[in-house]
């Protein structure tokens, strides 16, 4: 998660910046946009679907394109108790981890671009 927080995940745009010749830098999961860290973890159709479900589960009203500030815990408009805050942090980390793991499954195992 440290790499995600620092925007240092090896998404296609980052690999391209470092001179690695790629066929495309479009998102392997949705093929709609260029793959950046924010797109992979927050704005991709698959990611938005998961974050929307998690937000609903937590009873949060979150815009569809809520962004990294909420998922990384930098949004102060979401308040939960101390214990709830720790659980919410664990949920956010778990979601990011599973979204990244799913993205890698799509890239490296050529799984069709849907959450599994």
- The CA distance from 35 to 38, in Å, is 8
Is residue 7 domain-resident? Answer: yes
Number of CB atoms found within 10 A of residue 45's CB = 16
Q: Domain limits at 76?
A: 2-109
Confirm whether 91 is domain-assigned.
yes
- 115 inside domain: no
How high is the pLDDT of residue 69? Answer: 54
- The predicted structure's pLDDT at residue 70: 53
Q: DSSP class of residue 34?
A: B
Positive or negative, the Cα torsion across 71, 73, 78, 84? positive
* Joined tokens for residue 18: 């470092």
The answer as to whether 29 is a domain residue is: yes
Question: What is the residue-level pLDDT of the chain in tens, covering all 116 positions?
Answer: 778 777 788 899 988 988 998 889 999 999 999 999 999 998 899 888 888 888 888 887 665 555 555 555 555 455 556 777 788 888 888 999 999 999 999 988 877 655 55
Q: How many domains does the chain have?
A: 1
Its pTM stands at 0.77
DSSP string, 64-90: TT--HHHHTT--TT----HHHHHHHHH
Domain-located, residue 114: no
Domain assignment present for residue 26? The answer is yes
Residue 83 domain-assigned (yes or no): yes
């Amino acid at each position: 998660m440290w790499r995600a927080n620092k925007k240092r995940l090896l998404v296609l745009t980052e690999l391209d910046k470092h001179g690695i010749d790629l066929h495309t830098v479009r998102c392997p999961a949705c093929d709609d946009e260029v793959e950046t860290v924010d797109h992979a973890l927050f704005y991709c159709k698959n990611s938005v679907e998961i974050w929307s479900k998690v937000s609903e589960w937590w009873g949060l009203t979150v815009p569809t394109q809520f962004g990294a500030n909420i998922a990384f815990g930098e949004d102060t408009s979401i308040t939960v108790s101390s214990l709830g805050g720790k659980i919410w942090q664990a949920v956010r980390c778990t979601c990011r981890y599973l979204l990244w793991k799913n993205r890698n499954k799509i890239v490296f195992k050529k799984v069709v671009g849907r959450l599994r």
